[in-house]
Structure 1
């Protein structure tokens, strides 16, 4: 889910120094965010200097963190599972797969 990233929330010092200019920690954090984008680890929708709008991890960023989205984990896609259940001839496997298909459909339609 896209997020707003505020440099001042992550820098160790206040966002602005005594002259109203960003302090060194804030500038360093913002430069790090820009480097992460340039290296392909994140995508930034809008760069507003020290606030980064609609920021998300890319697949490369997820891989670097050893994170796999739930949708990519575990079992094969439902269509593939249904096809395999039909081929196997196992009524119990087919019943369980149909339940999973119906549950996924209900979740998508009713937000469950």
Structure 2
């Protein structure tokens, strides 16, 4: 009985050690995303917008570089984007989800 408990304990320790090693290796292979500061100067004409399907609104970024940084941070790829989306101000996402739907009636207003 004692030997079986000891074997189980050793097996649990072994599995835990393997998992910790795998987690460590995964963290080393995940590459760090660039900072938004690396995107340089932007102006209104450099803005790019993408359709945010999850929230049902348009996300606006100062430039494509800023959008790429956001995509990297979320570990995804944004494929549905265009500067034309930026002209649809009524549908631009708000920062606060509770206020988001009011923009349909009152327009987009950013503080």
- Same fold at TM > 0.5: no
TM-score, with normalisation over the residues of structure 2? 0.32
TM-score, with normalisation over the residues of structure 1? 0.32
